[in-house]
Structure formats: C-alpha cells, structure tokens
Amino acid sequence: MIHLTENAATHISNYLKNRGKGEGIRVGVKTSGCSGLAYVLEFVDEVDTHDQSFEQFGVKVFVDPKSLVYLEGMEMDYVKNGLNEGFEFNNPNKKGECGCGESFTV
C-alpha cells in the first residue's frame, strides 16, 4: 500500500479539480539517474486493469505491479520549504540515493 498524507491528498485533489478530469494519480518508478531508479507521477484518465489502487482522503493512487515491489509501504507527502515545494517520498525500501536526490536504489 502507498500512504498519502493529508497535504499530498489535498494537493492532488485540487490539481485534479483544476485540471477538470482524471481518476487519480499513478505513482511508479523508472530506470534513471546515477542511483538507478526515479519516481514517476502521472495523472490517470483511464484506469489500467493491472494497476493496484489505493484510496486515501478521497484521492485514488494507482501503481503498476512492477513498481509496487519498490514502493510498497511508501508514504507520499507534499511539503513547502521556503520557495521550494513538491512531493516528498518516504520509502522504507530505499537503500540509498544519489547526491542530488533525483534517484534511489533498493
């Protein structure tokens, strides 16, 4: 299961409302960066029958089966620090990350 904080759910919900469509958000991983894997976020307009889905605070999160292995138990938050804001991933499966924080290893 992927856990959303209330801040993350509120941000996603507001974005979906402003966008005017969407079933939720898909969270996945792709091969990238110097550590091997990077998080990928995309809006879901059509649900893939193979995806696992989770719902928290009224927001649906979809994860493809291959990514779920790397993301199981992860908490996704939305944080603002000064002028910077964005999603923060607290992944218990992560063993390390690159210096810039763009990719991780499991």
Domain definitions of the chain by residue range: 3-93
* pLDDT attached to residue 7: 96
Cα–Cα distance measured from residue 62 to residue 68, given in angstroms and rounded to the nearest whole number: 10
Quick: pLDDT tens for 18-54. 999 999 999 998 887 665 788 899 999 999 999 999 9
Quick: pLDDT tens for 45-101. 999 999 999 999 999 999 999 999 989 999 999 999 888 889 988 888 776 665 555
What would the two tokens of residue 77 be? 């938050």
Cα–Cα distance measured from residue 47 to residue 64, given in angstroms and rounded to the nearest whole number: 11
For residue 10, the tally of other CB atoms under 10 A from its CB is 15
Q: SS3 for 67?
A: helix
Assign domain 3-93 to its CATH superfamily.
HesB-like domain (2.60.300.12)
Going from the C-alpha of 79 to that of each of 8, 83, 87, 106, the distances in angstroms are: 8, 11, 6, 24
pTM: 0.83
Q: Which of 47, 43, 11 is nearest to 27 (CA)?
A: 43
